[in-house]
A and B are shown apart, each in its own frame.
Chain A
Amino acid sequence: MPADAFFMFPEADAMILAMSKTDQGLGDFYNLISPKIRDSKRLAQNASAEEIARYAPDLVLLKSSNFEGTANKLDQLGIVNFTMELESAEAWNSELLQLGKLLGKEERAQELVELYVKRNQMVRERIETLDHEKLPTVLVLQFSVVDGTTAFEVCPDSWIQTQMVETAGGVPVWTDSGLASNAWSKVSFEQIAAWNPDFIYIVSYKTPADKFLEAIYSDFTWKSLRSTQSRQIKAMPSDLVSFAQPDSRWILALQWMAANLHPALFPGFDMQSEVASFYRDFYHLEDHLIEELARSLQGGVNAPAMPLQCPCNAPAMPLQ
């Protein structure tokens, strides 16, 4: 998310900020970076250009999928704005550099890009050694619980989740299926069974994905799937929010997935230490804060979940 990108610049703390609410997971971690944020008022996610203009910002950051119209209006109002896409490794690199330019912090931006490239490279190098004919099939599946109904959804080919799978040395099963290109598409259990992937990674943006795992492994219909039988259905890692999205922590999801798909290539992979080093390098968080975050880490690691702050208490819906 643009906000994650922004906070990687240490000077962010000193700037005057207005941010929109986070409606995912357990909230965002910006409070840990800057106590000021905790007390500041949050904008609505769909705030209009006018509303934003009230704050007389020097710079407005927007996520492309939502706010193209708003960006145009801000242009008309003469407010500097930057629409970030952040849907691929390349996008993170180039857009971070641009953000650095806008903030006048090109050096830091360069530093960040190199940090990303390093982690990405580390994965790629090892994956390249594999025989590309024999890569495992992977499904990234969102469990979305709305209106009391549970739906399975897959993401468009162009999104970062798809790219993650490919980089991590897997074959995404849902590409080229004629699905929507700009939103999650519902698929039926039948379709999942027809794909019958080797690995399934569950993503859930509002309710902790772990809760669904219990239901899946005890459900009669899921038992016949290959990935159920080999216990390769896992929850994508998340702490406060899921890492499997255009969030700065996408790189952690990538690393984790690669290590999970090809454990032989990543001996000694320790998710907790990777997460800790991430927060240190990218956000300069202090150790005690990193420990707090670690406690809420779920998915990739069997850490007991202890929510930091819980603005939401979405009950987990069992599979019916």
Chain B
Amino acid sequence: MNIQSNQYHARIKRNRLLISTCGGLLVVLAFVTLLVGRYPKAGFTPPARIFNDPLMRNIIVNVRLPRVVLAILAGAILAGAGFVFQMLFSNPLVEPGFLGVSQGAAFGAALVIIVAGYSTVLVQISATVFGLLALALSYILARHFRFGGWMLRLVLAGIAVSAIFSSGLAMLKLVADPTRDLQDITFWMMGGLWNSTWTNTLSVLPVAAVSLAILVAYRWRLNVLSLNDRTAHSVGLSPNRDKLLLLFVATVGTTVVISVTGLVGWIGLIIPHLARRLFGSDSRHALPGAILMGAIFLLLCDTIGRTMLAGEIPLGLLTSIIGATIFIIILTRRRHGANL
């Protein structure tokens, strides 16, 4: 038995080390990307310049830093929520975007802007309400569909609900008074961090951070909740209560961030898979790993998007291209028997 115990502890240790490495990498990247941008020239500028150039300091602190923080936060919560959704629905093929949460959030935010003008608090609340609504709708629809197994039904229901809210958003565009503020749908559907400032970054930081903290606290429980409900019940859990709580927390964290960044897709689907490949399926390590990897991924994508060309490349575009490519690679390479 000692051999197995040692093996187990070796695995735990290795995973902990990996998490620390990811965390360290994130910190290093955060510093490096602060020195990357379009000023004074495209690309990396050595830190020495900070001392001579007040505009450089200004740009780093007021333009880049809030954006880097937001990118890290958004990447973390999107990947974390995606991971949690996958565990709770026992379905490695879902993410908040697939179940209409992101589209509902975008719709809710846009609706408030039309009706009441732009107010940070109202937009976040509306995004959250409609995100939760979309989630509930996907779940209810999946229960009622009469086609295929649970996995398939959930994905189908999610597609339907996503479509409803996406077209709802497009309709808002059409009927909204074009002279008011709602003209450009691409922000919501493609996402972007160009509008990040300390104000809106700090406005989402508390909720997103608390949401992440709660999800990470439950990281071992998530494993048990991924089993069927009766089994979870038999080992002393209240699966309905726990699942509702975690779904709520994950959704709120996601929608609040989306209300500021627009819809950034694919992270919630891809990163959890990558994390499981790296850390194994135990969410004790895979969840924190996914959160860190999501932050790194989004930080890199956004840095590319704001540096490569004079004009901003939409963030959703980058995450889709890079994300979809990785997705294809993952799916075409199977490890023995293991699903994900």
Q: Show the binding face of A for B, using Cβ within 8 Å.
A: 23-24, 45, 144-151, 154, 174, 177-180, 185-191, 193-194, 206, 220-221, 224-225, 311-312, 314-315, 317, 320
Quick one: which of A24, A150, A193, A315 contacts B195, CB cutoff 8 A?
A150
Other A-B pairs, 13, CB within 8 Å; known A206-B183, A221-B58, A312-B179: A145-B181, A146-B183, A147-B118, A148-B181, A174-B310, A177-B311, A179-B310, A180-B311, A193-B39, A193-B55, A224-B58, A314-B180, A315-B117
When chains A and B are docked, how far (Å) is the Cα of A180 from the Cα of B194? Answer: 17
Quick one: which of B54, B59, B181 contacts A189, CB cutoff 8 A?
B59
Answer yes or no: B15 CB below 8 A from chain A CBs: no
Identify whether the interface residues of B are mostly helix, strand, loop, or mixed.
loop
When chains A and B are docked, how far (Å) is the Cα of A194 from the Cα of B309? Answer: 13
Contacts of A177 in B (CB 8 A): 309-311
Answer yes or no: B312 CB below 8 A from chain A CBs: yes
Contacts of B197 in A (CB 8 A): 320
Q: Verify B311–A224 contact, CB threshold 8 A.
A: no
Answer yes or no: B284 CB below 8 A from chain A CBs: no
Q: Verify B40–A312 contact, CB threshold 8 A.
A: no
Q: Verify B113–A147 contact, CB threshold 8 A.
A: yes
Answer yes or no: B286 CB below 8 A from chain A CBs: no
Contacts of B177 in A (CB 8 A): 312
Contacts of A187 in B (CB 8 A): 310-312
Minimum Cβ distance to chain B for residue A25 (Å) = 9
Q: Verify A194–B179 contact, CB threshold 8 A.
A: no
Contacts of A190 in B (CB 8 A): 37-39, 59, 63-64, 306
Nearest chain-B residue to A180 (Cβ)? Answer: B311
Q: Verify A147–B63 contact, CB threshold 8 A.
A: no
B:108-130 near A, CB below 8 Å: 109-110, 113, 117-118, 123
Contact (A147, B182) CB under 8 Å given A188-B38, A220-B62: yes
Contact (A194, B311) CB under 8 Å given A146-B182, A146-B187: no
Contact (A188, B55) CB under 8 Å given A148-B113, A148-B181, A177-B311: no
Nearest chain-A residue to B117 (Cβ)? Answer: A315
When chains A and B are docked, how far (Å) is the Cα of A157 from the Cα of B182? Answer: 27
When chains A and B are docked, how far (Å) is the Cα of A151 from the Cα of B184? Answer: 11
When chains A and B are docked, how far (Å) is the Cα of A45 from the Cα of B309? Answer: 32
Quick one: which of A146, A147, A178, A320 contacts B199, CB cutoff 8 A?
A320
Contact (A186, B123) CB under 8 Å given A150-B195, A221-B58, A312-B177: no
Identify whether the interface residues of A are mostly helix, strand, loop, or mixed.
loop
18 contacts across the A-B interface (CB closer than 8 A): A146-B183, A147-B183, A148-B181, A149-B187, A150-B195, A177-B310, A177-B311, A178-B311, A179-B310, A180-B311, A186-B194, A187-B312, A189-B59, A190-B59, A191-B39, A193-B40, A221-B62, A312-B179
Answer yes or no: B41 CB below 8 A from chain A CBs: yes
Nearest chain-A residue to B58 (Cβ)? Answer: A221
When chains A and B are docked, how far (Å) is the Cα of A246 from the Cα of B187? Answer: 26
When chains A and B are docked, how far (Å) is the Cα of A164 from the Cα of B197? Answer: 33
When chains A and B are docked, how far (Å) is the Cα of A191 from the Cα of B308? Answer: 11
When chains A and B are docked, how far (Å) is the Cα of A148 from the Cα of B39? Answer: 26
Contact (A317, B182) CB under 8 Å given A190-B39, A221-B58: no
Nearest chain-A residue to B311 (Cβ)? Answer: A185
Quick one: which of A23, A179, A312, A317 contacts B311, CB cutoff 8 A?
A179
Minimum Cβ distance to chain A for residue B122 (Å) = 10
Contacts of B113 in A (CB 8 A): 147-148
Q: Verify B183–A194 contact, CB threshold 8 A.
A: no
When chains A and B are docked, how far (Å) is the Cα of A320 from the Cα of B197? Answer: 7
When chains A and B are docked, how far (Å) is the Cα of A180 from the Cα of B314? Answer: 13
Answer yes or no: B83 CB below 8 A from chain A CBs: no
Contact (A188, B62) CB under 8 Å given A194-B41, A314-B179: no
Nearest chain-B residue to A178 (Cβ)? Answer: B309
When chains A and B are docked, how far (Å) is the Cα of A24 from the Cα of B271? Answer: 43
Minimum Cβ distance to chain A for residue B14 (Å) = 40
Contacts of A225 in B (CB 8 A): 55
Contacts of A45 in B (CB 8 A): 178
Answer yes or no: B297 CB below 8 A from chain A CBs: no
